[in-house]
Structure 1
Amino acid sequence: MNAETQLIADLKSESNREPAFNELVTQYKERLYWHIRNIVKSHDDADDVLQNTFIKIYRNIGNFKGDSKLFSWMYRIATNESLTFISNRAKQMQISNEEVQDMAIANLEADVYFEGEEIQIKLQRAIATLPEKQRLVFNMKYFQELKYKDMAEILETSEGALKSSYHIAVKKVEAFLLND
């Protein structure tokens, strides 16, 4: 039994669930945080979404069938939680998801946790102009260096579609940066 299989078994067992979940959080919190942060932009929002993600993972681990890697399953939850967060924020403020993203980028400059220079702000503005799927694919490939195979599991689409989306996204980002 490999380590992931053992961790899943422990997560599903009443007696081992707590220590196994603590191990899961320790193992994945930083990677999931940065994945979420790339989507929602704000440190505080990323922390909130990360907490919601782990709550959902904890509550639903019994439904994990093992059709994909545990990592992919958790990233899918984190992605969905992030998109839901943006959508809910947009509804609360009665603006579009894109406007929420624009506001988040505008706030990056004041974010004490953002250590970026002007070029990173420009890059974030360029990424924000992408359609949602291209934005997700670009962030996952460019910032997290995920393999297309893993991204295909997380986003439940083909590797070919992801490669195409990433290629188009890169061209749009380059064009934005050159014309900005």
Structure 2
Amino acid sequence: MTDETVLIEQLINVHTKEKAFRELISLYKERLYWHVRKIVISHDDTDDVLQNTFIKIYKNIGKFKQESKLFSWMYRIATNEAITFINKRNKERKIDISEVQEHLVSTLENDIYFSGEEIQGILQKAIASLPQKQQLVFNMKYFDNIKYTQISEILGTSVGALKASYFHAVKKIENYIKKQNKLNLL
């Protein structure tokens, strides 16, 4: 039995669920935090989404069919929670996705939790300017180094579509950075 199988069994067992869940949080909180943070940008919003994610995991662990890795299942929940959060906020504010992207870019510059160098700032702004799916695929592949097959499980998309999304994201990011460099040279 793998460690993951043991952990899942402990999570399903009412007598060991609490302790196992604390262990699960300890194992995955940081990775899920940074994944969600790349989607929602704001530290405070990330904390809210992460809390909702762990609540869903806790409530639904008994429904986990083990057809994928536990990590993939949790990533999918975190991704869906982050997207739901963004869509709900946008609907409440009645704003267009392009306005949201502009806001996220400006938020990066004022975020006390973001201490990146100038090039990191430019990269994050370039990523924030991408369509949502391309952001997700780029972040998972580039920063989290997740394999396409696992991303496919998380996002419910074919590997071919993911590769195309990643390719387009990289090209758009390259063009954004080149444009910024030209502006800085002027």
| Higher alpha-carbon Rg | 2
Quick one: distance in 1 between partners of 2:160 and 2:11? 34
Contact 1:152 1:158 in 2 (8 A): yes
Separation of aligned partners in 1, 2:105 and 2:167: 23
Match in the other structure for 1:10 = 10
Number of matched pairs: 180
In 1, the alpha carbon distance for the partners of 2:172 and 2:5 equals 41
Percent of aligned pairs sharing the same letter:
62
**What residue in structure 1 maps to residue 120 of structure 2?**
120
CA contact (8 A) 2:130 2:169 kept: yes
1:82-121, CA deviations, whole angstroms, 9 ceiling, x for partnerless residues?
0011111111211023322321221122211101122222
Corresponding position of 2:70: 70
> In the alignment, what sits opposite 2:171?
171
**What aligned pairs does 1:7-156 form with structure 2 within 5 A after superposition?**
7-156=7-156
Task: Note if contact 2:101-2:129 (Cα within 8 Å) is conserved in structure 1.
Answer: no
Give the AA of the match of 1:136. Answer: L
Helix, strand or coil at the partner of 1:114? coil
TM-score, length of structure 1 as denominator length: 0.95
The 3-state SS of whatever aligns with 1:109 is: helix
Deviation of 1:28 after TM superposition, in Å, equals 0.1
Mark the runs of 5 or more structure 1 residues left unpaired by the alignment: none
How far apart are residue 77 of structure 1 and its match? Answer: 0.4
Secondary structure of 1:14's aligned partner: coil
Q: Can you give the 5+ residue segments of structure 2 that lack an aligned partner in the other structure?
A: 181-186
Contact kept? 2:126, 2:177, Cα under 8 Å:
yes
What secondary structure does 1:125 align onto? helix
Show the counterpart of 2:183. none
Q: Given that residues 89 and 100 in structure 1 are in contact (C-alpha distance below 8 angstroms), is that contact kept between their aligned partners in structure 2?
A: no
Work out whether residues 36 and 50 of structure 2, in 8 Å CA contact, stay in contact via their aligned partners in 1.
Answer: yes
Q: Which runs of 4+ in 1 moved over 6 A?
A: none
RMSD: 1.2
TM-score, with structure 2 as normaliser: 0.92
